[in-house]
Amino acid sequence: DGGITQSPKYLFRKEGQNVTLSCEQNLNHDAMYWYRQDPGQGLRLIYYSQIVNDFQKGDIAEGYSVSREKKESFPLTVTSAQKNPTAFYLCASSPLTGGGHGDTQYFGPGTRLTVL
């Protein structure tokens, strides 16, 4: 059954702790993305990667870090430097079709992080 998995669905952490959110895809997609969504708002891009061992900062990368050691995996670490980390985090992937247009993104179910 192909798709994107994110775990856990809900995550609680104490302030000052780093936390890593997992994202795995078996769609053989080249590109992967991390977004943050706050209540009643749109999605803001944190980081994205189009190839293994390479990634780029999005609009709100401060306080976050990522790695892309395998094509299937794109974990996101929320560091203690992130001032307001409580949010809904969404991972997505897309094929790079080479058509010159934006590629359809397929989203995982998300992780709701609450920092106490």
Partner 1 sequence: GQQVMQIPQYQHVQEGEDFTTYCNSSTTLSNIQWYKQRPGGHPVFLIQLVKSGEVKKQKRLTFQFGEAKKNSSLHITATQTTDVGTYFCAPSGSARQLTFGSGTQLTVLP
Cβ nearer to partner 1, comparing 50 with 77: 50
Q: From CA 58, how far away is CA 75, in angstroms rounded?
A: 15
Instruction: List binders of partner 1 among 72-101 (CB under 8 A).
Output: 90, 92, 96, 100-101
Q: Of 34, 48, 64, 74, which lies in the binding site for partner 1, with binding defined by CB under 8 A?
A: 48
The C-alpha angle with vertex 88 and arms to 82 and 92, in degrees rounded to 5, equals 100
Q: Of 21, 29, 34, 35, which lies in the binding site for partner 1, with binding defined by CB under 8 A?
A: 35
Q: How far is the CB of 19 from partner 1 (least distance, A)?
A: 20
Q: From CA 16, how far away is CA 19, in angstroms rounded?
A: 10
Torsion angle, alpha carbons of 74, 80, 83, 86, to 10: 60
Instruction: Give me the residues that bind partner 1 (CB under 8 A), please.
Output: 31, 33, 35, 40-45, 48, 50, 56, 58-59, 90, 92, 96, 100-110
